[in-house]
A and B are shown apart, each in its own frame.
Chain A
Amino acid sequence: MKKFLALVLSFILLLSLLASCSGKGETPVTKNSSSTVAAKDGKKTIAYITPDSRSPFPVKYSSAWKEECSKRDWEAVILDGAGDAAKQLSLIESLVAQKVDMICVTPIDSTAIGSGLKIAYDAGIPTMTVNADCDEAFHKYTIGYIGTPNFTFGYRSGECMAEALGNKPDKNIIICSLHDGFQASMDIVDGFKQAIKDKCGNVNYLDEQPGKSDKAISQALMEDWIVKYGDKIDAVFGADDTVAVGCINALKANNMLGKVIVVGAGGDGDGLPAIKNGEMYGTTYQSAAAEVSLVFENIELYFAGKPLQKEEEWKMELPIITKDNVDGYEPAY
């Protein structure tokens, strides 16, 4: 009975302590309002929340982030969302508690991030979505979006695939995407499918599964698909070069490489050699460093009280890499 009473009294004490902790937010942030730019003395702290550091692109993105901060003598705080949308919300709240100067985030889910952006907005901390955007309904809580338009990125790979297929319809295509429920992955696949529809017309998507940016997982998936669909497969799209190369390994093991066209996305250290060797038809080049540089140009504009660049002003190319031009590129990441 004593233990139970102690528990109840502790509960009442804790509730009263918590009730005293609650409080209202500070002045909300407005877009490009110089009066809200916190003209603090000393280093600015620019935080970035990655979607998942288990993928190579976010890792490269984070390195580029640190370099850009270092150039400007700013402090970089990089936190890992670890593929968990709820965790990204917690990290935003944590950064709000740390009173950083700006929070940038690549949302895992474009809607789930919304409540986190609102919390930062109510606390007076500017936020920017990078590399993947939030849902339009939450744009009012951010200062803007800067990043590779993932739909366009996927579209470019779709154009590459269409070229490889001779723009012919009725082909059988398999898609090896990235992570379940990852917004950027969904946008890339949607862009790819749109390009195929525009250039080839009707095609058959035999299957679509997440390769999770992992060569072993995508290789195992491809082996299952080979067993299931065999010679029906005309082409495979890997939503990043790592999963594309995983699929290539499976096709090689089953002597199907010459018969199946493979296209990737990213232009990373796996993809470019595969193109050079003739194993992969092509990919779309996405430079993490170039994108981060653009992000920081716009962060500087914000702190200077100027409007952010419009999408048409972004100098960010998404070139298609094939055997014809692969020698002119270094791996993007």
Chain B
Amino acid sequence: MKKKQKLLLWLSDNSIFFLLSIILVLAALVGKSFYTKANLMLLLKETSLYGIIAIGITFVLLLGFTDMSIGPQVSMFSVIAILASQRFGLASMVLSCVLLSIISGLLNGLLVSKVHVVPFITTLGTMTVFKGIALILAGGKPIASSLLTVYDIYTYELLGVPISIVVFLIFLIIAAYLLYFTKFGLQVYACGGNLESAKAAGINTDRITIICYLLSAFCASCAGAFYASRMGVGSPVLGDNYTLPVIASCVIGGIRSTGGKGNFVKTFCGVLFMQIIYNLMAMSGFDAYTQYFVIGVVILGVLFLDKYTEKVQKINLAQE
């Protein structure tokens, strides 16, 4: 393989680290209050909430599938969290969401694995179902909690660290352990690499698919409960704009859309990178339209680099 191609491949594999380094330098030059304690803490809290969702969806993306229903699931669980807290108390906020996430995860998992509808289309359908459920439960508008203690979950700190950050880091470690050190992780990569070959090798691909969608739903439920506690409100439209940025974070982090490639360190870096961009754009007063454009350009750039290096790899393999 030529030197240039080797460099390109290496760059593509580690592009997120370069992007992160560049943006951190840019932040020092452009963001006047970026490197303040308050802003860095805010950045990490934002990263943790998106990151919790991203951890779940990473499992699905590694399979080569997708989950377009992730945003509406977050909305639905935020509504469920508030309703549960009003009926059964604060402790039920997270528990109710986690238990009900089994249903949403199973629905997606079974439809994709057993009915064999393309995951993109399947989850577009379930996206509408979950959004409908959220709107019905909330009566079409955000519901405020009557509990004054509803904010306590989000504002709780463990040894001075916000709980959302602690939970995110714990999830990250557990997810990384599952992926690197268990048979399940190997099977996820195998299914993502080539589903038919994995099946032929004796892997129960249906079971792996269902588990990945369950993990995705579980993470969405935790994020929904956190958002509900943060705002004191369950909103049926909260997660409408979360699906694409979360998936984009994973793709920027190096999770290949066709599956079989990526890891959680890169997911974390991808989420952090996106949040830094949002943070900088917000601090610079960019309106929503400009933010969409910038994020779109970044995603296209990363996808182009990924596809180009994939093509180069295939050519090299053919030559060898």
- Which residues of A come within 8 Å of B, CB atoms? 3-4, 7-8, 11, 14-15, 18-23, 52-54, 77-80, 82-86, 89-91, 93-94, 96-99, 109, 111-112, 114-115, 123, 135, 180-181, 186
Verify B233–A111 contact, CB threshold 8 A: yes
B200 within 8 A of A: no
Partner of A85, one of B33, B155, B235, B283: B235
Do A53 and B180 touch (CB < 8 A)?
A: no
Q: How far is the CA of A159 from the CA of B181 in the complex (A)?
A: 69
Q: Which residues of B contact A123 (CB under 8 A)?
A: 38
Pairs across A and B, CB under 8 Å, 10 listed: A7-B173, A7-B265, A22-B157, A78-B285, A97-B33, A98-B39, A98-B283, A99-B33, A109-B235, A186-B141
Least CB distance, A111 to chain B, in whole angstroms: 4
Q: Which among B172, B230, B287 is the interface contact of A115 at CB below 8 angstroms?
A: B230
Closest Cβ neighbor of B143 among chain A residues: A111
Instruction: Give the residue of B232, B235, B285, B286 whose beta carbon is less than 8 angstroms from that of A181.
Output: B235
Interface hit among B4-12, B159-167, B191-199: B159-167
Minimum Cβ distance to chain A for residue B146 (Å): 10
Cβ–Cβ < 8 Å partners of A115 in chain B: 151, 154-155, 230-232
Task: Classify the secondary structure of A's interface with B.
Answer: helix
B274-310 toward A: CB 8 Å interface, digit per residue (1/0)? 0000010011011111010000000000000000000
Interface residues on B, range: 35 or more
Residues in chain B near residue A97, CB distance under 8 A: 33, 36, 38-39, 42
Q: Are A93 and B142 in contact (CB under 8 A)?
A: no
Given the known inter-chain contacts A22-B41, A97-B42, A109-B235, please indicate yes or no for A79 contacting B161, CB distance below 8 A.
no
Q: Contact between A4 and B235 (Cβ–Cβ < 8 Å)?
A: no
The contact of B176 among A7, A86, A94, by CB within 8 Å, is: A7
Q: 0/1 per residue, B172-205, Cβ < 8 Å to A?
A: 1100110011000000000000000000000000
CB distance from B199 to the nearest CB of A (A): 29
Whether the Cβ atoms of B166 and A96 lie closer than 8 Å is no
* A22 and B180 contact, CB distance less than 8 A: no
- CB of B288 within 8 A of CB of A54, answer yes
Chain B residue, CB-CB nearest to A20: B160
